[in-house]
Amino acid sequence: MFNKIAIFLFIIISFSFSTVTHSTATRDSLARTILQEADSANYSFIVLTTSADAPLDTIILQNPAFSKSGAVLTCLGVPISSTAAVQGTIAKFKMCKKNGSTIISGTVTVTGGGGDMTVDNTSVTVGQTVRLTGFTYTAAP
């Protein structure tokens, strides 16, 4: 019985630490799919949310929304400004298609803070201008 448990735990631990990688062609395809999703419905938008997913602001992206270089997408038109509808602390984002379905999501920090997306200020009040200062998506290696 002990040997079966030890083997089971070894298998779980081995798979937990495995590293999955994608070929360059697959990464390029992932980025292309995100790009097509963002541009397919004439526009896409970003919903900036709190850490508890409460929406604070919506930013409409231009169409096309991104430039593409290999597996990397860079948001066009940055900086993009909007007016906060709700007071709170921006922590996350969802990029959505026109119909509201989520394409991708990630973290938001101030410029230089290391988030997937950056804004000029994460603490917002109603009516405050929010500036998206950077957004680059890189398909997972």
pLDDT tens-place string over residues 53-101: 999 999 999 999 999 999 999 999 999 999 999 999 999 999 999 889 9
Return the domain boundaries, the chain: 22-138
HSE at residue 28, side-chain half, CA atoms within 13 A, is 5
Structure confidence by residue, pLDDT tens digits, 10-43 = 444 455 555 788 899 999 999 999 999 998 867 8
Q: Do 95 and 136 form a contact (C-beta atoms < 8 A)?
A: no
This prediction has a pTM of 0.83
One DSSP character per residue, 2-60 reads HHHHHHHHHHHHHHHT------HHHHHHHHHHHHHHHHTTS-EEEEEE-TT--EEEEEE
pLDDT, residue 1, reads 45
